[in-house]
Amino acid sequence: MSVETPLIGDFTAAPAQSRLAGARIGVVTFPGTLDDRDAARAVRLGGGTPVALWHADQSLHGVDAVVLPGGFSYGDYLRAGAIARFAPVMDTIVKEAQAKDTSAAALPVLGICNGFQILTEAHLLPGSMIKNNHLKFICRDQALRVENNQTAWTSQFTDDEIIAIPLKNQDGQYVADDATLAQLEDEGRVVFRYVGGNPNGSRNDIAGITNEAGNVVGLMPHPEHAVEAGYGPDDTTGMRNGTDGLTLFTSVISSLAGATK
Amino acid sequence: MTENASEQPTAAEVPVHQTQFNIDTVANAAATPETELPWAELGLKEDEFHRIVDILGRRPTAAELAMYSVMWSEHCSYKSSKVHLRQFGEKVTEEMKKDLMVGIGENAGVTNLGDGWAVTFKIESHNHPSYVEPYQGAATGIGGIVRDIISMGARPVGVMDPLRFGDIDHPDTKRVLPGVVSGIGGYGNSLGLPNVGGEVVFDSVYQDNPLVNALAVGVMRHEDIRLANASGVGNKVVLFGARTGGDGIGGASVLASESFDDSKPSKRPAVQVGDPFAEKVLIECCLELFKNELVEGIQDLGAAGISCATSELASNGEGGMHVELTNVLLRDPTLTPGEILMSESQERMMAVVTPQNVEAFEAVMGKWGVEYSWLGEVTDTGRLIIEWNGETIVDVDPRTVAHDGPVYERPYHRPSWQDELQADTFRASPAAQNLPATAEELGSAVVELMAQPNMANASWITDQYDRFVGGNTALSVPDDAGVIRVDEETGLGVALSTDCNGRYAYLDPYTGAQLALAESYRNVATSGAIPMAVSDCLNFGSPEDPEIMWQFAESVRGLADACMELGVPVTGGNVSLYNQTAGRAIHPTPVVGVLGKFDDVGRRTPSGFQRWADGQAIYLLGVTRDELDGSEFARMRGHLGGLPPKVDLAAEKTLGEILINASRDGMIDSAHDLSEGGLAAALAEMSLRFGVGARVAVDGICERDGVDAFTALFSESQARALVALPRSEELRFTDMTSARGFAALRIGVVDAESGGLEVTGPFEGGSFGIGLDELKEAWSSVLPSRFDTAIEATEALMK
């Protein structure tokens, strides 16, 4: 029961009583994180169990995957994600996300917006985000094409599926050098591409990318805001009914549940 | 008190910064009655200064003078408005009080939502700072209102911003608007608060006096309600959050309480600078304090800073307070005690903590990395004593600072020009020559109307605000109200709207204020929520002008009467006076926010025709009269005169009940109120919302109400709304309207295929059609064509 005023990082609502609930997904809160409750809700609606992780705590408390949610960590006054990348929790995430040991699969990590910026600052993903080319914060429903459905977070999408999820950011213009862009394209590591107009000047219309192993995914738009009919982007069935973002969470949760049971 | 207060401390004993000025102690003040004090520069009038001397029985110290000057300013003391504002507390029935948990006078009013939930909301102005420094002025406006909400014990869950600017093509609007919008976005977005609505109005009367109002709403459990009082002798007083700096000194007394003219130096130093990250951390930190029950009383630091917080906390409690001012953490070590007391540095809070909770309090501060310092404690002396290194620099009865400020019965009278203005009706004016009468003329008039700055697509502004964060936004701009879910288990939630038509209020302030309430009430009901409470932001010119004071007095009287009739209490608000530059005052602008309640926000009614709703019936509710004075059409033709539309609060109430019941029972799929621009604008907006058109005939309206097609389309008669509903619900719906004796007329159908709006009626040509693509282009290009260029210019400068 969510009868008390929820605190940030206080994800105490009862998880779904299902086989999937065994999948424990950590949601990190940095000072200045804003979408942590939304990410936790997305995990819960996807059937998993959200676990609050604190920036200053090195332990991941045995979670099976991690979400770095959106916000303005440490105010983003220096450069988006630049300080968060040095938080104790990031040391563990970086290590576990890069695990090559075959006995322990690499930790699935999803970085959303500020989380994506943190992942690039931590060098788990290449490139960087700069200010939108129109210099304004932009909030809108955004169409994306799923170009890689082989990652930990996109396995339940169909190839080239067009989805709609909200976009909202100030520093969302993805940039990388030509060699990096070519490598991302050649290796099929562009996971999401903007369609119906590039909202921020991102190179190659890139909205989200993955690492070589496919366990780390970062994207600028917000799948956690498209998980519940009535509170998401508009879709053909009505206002705010879009729930395409939920598939990122169900993808990782069902594969984790399948692996552990 | 120290015995040898008149002795100056030796240089060796004190930190370097304290030797740069002489401390004016209470003992010194008593010994030097003749010392000249800069009371006039601090904004005090001569008789006010003498009153302070009478209260203290001696001249005030420099620090005391600083405190009284800010706390007795118009902004903090409501000295000109108090005698009128009393009506909000007097014109209230027992029925209106039943859900009111905390009334006017606290940081914000609190309303019972049921299921153990309570909601608090409030609007405030940050007009003057936003004109001087648009980005910081608007940003700190959001910051300030959000802290008011936190200090009630609530989690803030949303913001809205009613904005008014000068002429859209005036060069200064290009300076002010982009800065204000990015300031609101830059601050609000960083707090994780969805921005769910507001207003954007352009009118040359707001040139040099933009109105930047901000509303915040928060929710809490009943047991978490906190009040600003310092009780419990021996309890500790703590200041936490950002450090105190030299920004915003005298903001309340100098900026917000005087008119601008060209003869004074720039007032930029009086504007505060915001740090949204510090505020976000402060929100979380305060909520953790509340959850763990670690504070006895709490007060945000806004206007008048520490002066306000200490005097209000002390006077609302039972006893006194003792504070050592050198314990305040400073950003600028050269600040004098008076400056520290007056500073309006942002992101600060003051709390009262029991000695046994001190350690737990410090642990929460440590977790969130928030700085704090213990300033002193609650006493039973009945005095607010402030010391500087052990020497008493303030010794006052806190009530005389916080509550017993001057009260003025300002003279007021009906302006000499009011009768002439009201006699100058639109119909009799040259502007009414050659009104659109043919199909072609009416069609182009609709497109022209929707391309007016006040009717145009505001998404250039609202797309700079995060409306998704929190995951509980069920409705936001451009729908009639912002709707936020409070309880995820049950769907319990709130709806909010703010409205005001300054043109109506200029023509008749009494009626204009009532119309602002009526529209806001109607918007909330149109979304499907039950209106419960009101917060107002009363923006006016100088109270020292009897004609302006009349506008204010009439507006307050009108609003209080209307609240009584609609049964919605005013729970709080703000007065902003002196909105005039070089003798030109703004239109009276009493912005009214209404809060409504949903048992389940899933029932909210969208404002647009829905794509899957092809063939649904469109009904017009309410009666259309010939009411074009003050209308958007009259503005388009350059006319302002006559009398505003008639107010019929009984009709508004019935219309509200119909819309709320229809939403609750799932009868209707879209609803939109009729306001500025009348039926033409409402139809256009409903079509543009999801790009779904309609076929409509106005013949029935013309016949029943005895008006021509032009009037049917452009009149701004009140208590009207449009709804779209499935044919299977028509009978049930019309049964409900006729049982209540409310006019309902089927005027057309939703047409999801045509991509256009077709209107037929008794006019030459018989019918006109408007392609939605053409309409959208005209409606959407208005703001970008003005303000994208401003951003390009900035970009060029930065290169």
Q: Could you tell me how far CA B398 lies from the centroid of its own chain?
A: 29
Q: Which helix (H) or strand (E) holds A181?
A: helix A178-186
pLDDT at B148 over 80: yes
Residues counted in chain B: 799
What pLDDT, in 10s, does the model give residues B34-45?
A: 988 889 988 899
Task: Flag the least confident range among B35-39, B187-191, B215-219, B430-434.
Answer: B35-39
**A·B CB contacts under 8 A:** 125
Q: Kindly name the residue from A113, A121, A147, A225 that is annotated as catalytic.
A: A113
| Chain A residue with the nearest C-alpha to that of B602 | A230
Which residues of A touch chain B, with CB atoms under 8 Å apart?
A: 1-8, 13, 31-32, 34-35, 37-38, 41, 71-72, 74-77, 134-140, 166, 168, 170, 222, 224-225, 227-228, 230-231, 234, 236-240
Name the residue among B191, B369, B464 with its Cβ closest to that of A31: B369
Collapsed DSSP state (helix, strand, coil) of residue B229: coil
Instruction: Name the DSSP letter for residue A190.
Output: E
Instruction: Give the pLDDT confidence score for residue B10 in this predicted structure.
Output: 39
Q: Which of A92, A69, A95 is nearest to A81 (CA)?
A: A69
Name residues 679-698 of chain B within 8 A of A (Cβ). 690
* B796 CB within 8 Å of a chain A CB: no
The answer to whether position A141 is within a domain reads yes
Catalytic residues of B: 75, 126
Q: Which residues of B fall within a CB distance of 8 Å from A32?
A: 190, 277, 280-281
Over residues B365-391, mean pLDDT: 94
> Is the Cα torsion angle B302, B307, B310, B313 positive or negative in sign?
negative
If you write DSSP's letter for every residue of B732-756 in order, what string do you get?
A: HHHHHHHHTT--EEEEEEEETTT-E
Q: How far apart are the first and last CA of chain B?
A: 60
| Domain CATH for A100 | 3.40.50.880
| Average pLDDT score over residue span B653-675 | 97
Least confident residue range of A251-260, B143-152, B213-222, B389-398 = A251-260
Structural domain that includes position B677:
418-533+579-785
B480 has a pLDDT exceeding 70: yes
Compute the distance between CA of residue B83 and CA of residue B686 in angstroms, rounded to an integer: 43
Query: Is the residue at B312 inside a domain?
Result: no
Using only the alpha carbons of chain B, give its radius of gyration. Answer: 27
Closest residue in chain A to residue B219, using alpha carbons only: A5
Residue B187 has pLDDT above 60, yes or no: yes
pLDDT score at B226: 82
Touching A: B residues 165-184, CB under 8 Å = 182
CA angle B88, B483, A69 (to 5 degrees): 125
Chain A residues touching residue B487 (CB < 8 angstroms): 2-3
Residue B771 belongs to a domain:
yes
Name the CA dihedral angle for B170, B171, B177, B183, rounded to a multiple of 10 degrees.
Answer: -160
Average pLDDT over residues B399-412: 93
Instruction: Tell me, yes or no, whether A7 lies in a domain.
Output: no
Contacts of A139 in chain B (CB under 8 A): 462-468
Any domain includes A179? yes
* pLDDT for the residue B18: 43
Which pLDDT belongs to residue B13? 42
Residue pair B652/B719 in contact by the 8 Å Cβ criterion: yes
DSSP percent split of chain A into helix, strand, coil, nearest 5: 25, 25, 50
Which of A2-11, A12-21, B318-327, B761-770 is most confident? B761-770
Residues of B in contact with A224 (CB under 8 A): 471
Q: Do B474 and A240 touch (CB under 8 A)?
A: yes
CATH number at residue B773: 3.90.650.10
Angle between helices B649-664 and B730-739 (to 10 degrees): 150
Tell me the mean pLDDT in the region B348-360: 96
Q: Chain A interface, mutation test: which of B469, B490, B527, B601, most A Cβ atoms within 10 Å?
A: B469
Q: Given this model, what pLDDT does residue B797 score?
A: 57
Tell me the C-alpha to C-alpha distance, in Å, between residue A201 and each of A69, A72, A129, A134, A205: 22, 21, 10, 8, 7
Residue range B684-709: mean pLDDT, rounded = 97
Contact B619, B750 (CB under 8 A): no
Q: Both tokens of residue A54?
A: 């604190």
Q: Strands across the sheet with A109-112, in order?
A: A49-54, A24-29, A65-68, A109-112, A216-219, A206-210, A190-194, A138-146, A162-169
Residue B533 to residue B91: CA distance in whole angstroms: 14
pLDDT band per the 50, 70, 90 thresholds, residue B49? very high
Cβ contacts (< 8 Å) between B485 and chain A: which residues? 231
What domain count does chain A have?
Answer: 1
Residues 6+ apart with CB under 8 A from B335: B244, B245, B246, B343
Residue B334, pLDDT > 90, answer no
Q: Which residues on B lie below 8 Å from A7 (Cβ)?
A: 284, 287-288, 291
**Dist. CA B314–CA B102, nearest whole Å:** 19
Give every residue of chain A whose pLDDT is below 50, as ranges: 1-9, 14, 260-261
pLDDT at B332: 85
Task: Please give the pLDDT value at position B108.
Answer: 80
Q: Which residues of A touch B155 (CB under 8 A)?
A: 5-6
Q: What are the strands, taking DSSP E only, across A17-151? A: 24-29, 49-54, 65-68, 109-112, 128-130, 138-146
- Characterize the bridge pairing of strands A24-29 and A49-54: parallel
User: What is the residue-wise DSSP string for A135-172?
Assistant: -S-EEEEEEEEE----STTTTTSPTT-EEEEEEEESS-
Q: Give B463→chain A minimum CA distance, Å.
A: 5
Do B317 and B247 meet the contact criterion of CB atoms below 8 Å apart? no
Name beta bridge partners: A141: A166
Q: What is the pLDDT of residue B796?
A: 60
Cβ-nearest to A5 among B155, B462, B612 = B155
By C-alpha distance, the chain A residue nearest B603 is A230
Comparing CB atoms, the residue among B469, B601, B606 nearest residue A34 is: B469
Residue from B271, B272, B245 nearest B333 by CA: B245
* Nearest-by-Cβ selection for A231 from B278, B462, B472: B472
pLDDT value for B277: 95
Identify all chain A residues contacting B278, using CB atoms and an 8 Å cutoff.
75
ipTM of the complex: 0.92
A187 is catalytic: no
Asked if B346 and B144 count as a contact pair (C-beta separation under 8 A), the reply is: yes
**What's the gap in Å between the CA of B185 and the closest CA on chain A?**
7
Q: Which of A41, A75, A136 sits opposite B471 (nearest CB)?
A: A41
Per the domain annotation, does A104 fall within a domain?
yes
Query: What is the nearest CA distance from A35 to chain B, expressed in angstroms?
Result: 6
Tell me whether residues B190 and A75 touch, CB distance under 8 A: yes
Quote the minimal CA–CA distance from B74 to chain A in Å: 35
| Amino acid A42: pLDDT | 97
Task: Provide the pLDDT for residue B477.
Answer: 87
Q: Which of B347, B468, B791 to mutate to test the interface with A (most CBs of A within 10 A)?
A: B468
For residue A166, the enclosing domain spans 19-260
Within B371-445, strands assigned E span: 372-379, 384-388, 391-396
In chain A, residues with a C-beta closer than 8 Å to the C-beta of B474 are: 230-231, 240
Q: Does A2 map to a domain? A: no
Cβ within 8 Å, pair A38-B470:
yes
Q: Is residue A6 part of a domain?
A: no
Please name the residue of chain B whose CA is at the shortest distance from the CA of residue A33: B192
Amino acid at B754: S
User: How many CA atoms lie within 13 Å of B182's alpha carbon, on the beta-carbon side?
Assistant: 18
In this structure, is residue B476 part of a structural domain? Answer: yes
Question: CA B61, CA B41: separation in Å to the nearest integer?
Answer: 15
| Averaged pLDDT for residues B555-579 | 96
Q: Which amino acid makes up residue A155?
A: S
B602 and A CB contact within 8 Å? yes
Mean pLDDT (whole number) for B706-721 = 98
Looking at B75-79, B240-244, B756-760, which range is the least confident one?
Answer: B75-79
Q: What percent of chain B has pLDDT over 70?
A: 93
Asked if pLDDT for residue B493 goes beyond 80, the answer is yes
Q: Does B54 touch chain A (CB under 8 A)?
A: no
Check if the beta carbon of residue B472 is closer than 8 Å to that of residue B566: no
Question: Within the 607-636 window of chain B, which residues sit less than 8 Å (CB to CB) from chain A?
Answer: 608, 610-612
C-alpha span between A208 and A191 (Å, rounded): 5
Q: What's the Cα-to-Cα distance from B774 to each of A188, B259, B441, B788, rounded to whole Å?
A: 41, 44, 16, 21
pLDDT, residue A198, reads 96
Per the structure, the count of domains in chain B is 1
Say what the pLDDT of residue A93 is: 97
Rounded to an integer, the average pLDDT of B298-308 is: 88
B41-50: Cβ within 8 A, 24+ apart: B42/B66, B42/B69, B42/B70, B42/B250, B42/B253, B42/B254, B43/B69, B43/B73, B43/B250, B43/B253, B43/B254, B43/B257, B43/B258, B44/B68, B44/B69, B44/B72, B47/B406, B48/B72, B48/B406
B201: left (phi over 0), alpha (psi -120 to 50) or beta: beta
| B468 vs A2, A72, A168: nearest CB | A168
pLDDT band at B484; cut points 50, 70, 90:
very high
Q: Round to whole Å and give the CA distance between A50 and A38.
A: 11
Kindly indicate the confidence band of residue B5, based on its pLDDT and cuts at 50, 70 and 90: very low
Which one is predicted more confidently, A244 or B331? A244
Beta carbons of B469 and A168 less than 8 Å apart: yes
Selecting from A5, A77, A230 the residue whose C-beta is nearest the C-beta of B474 gives A230
The verdict on a CB contact (< 8 Å) between A32 and B791 is: no
| Residue A225 annotated in active site | no
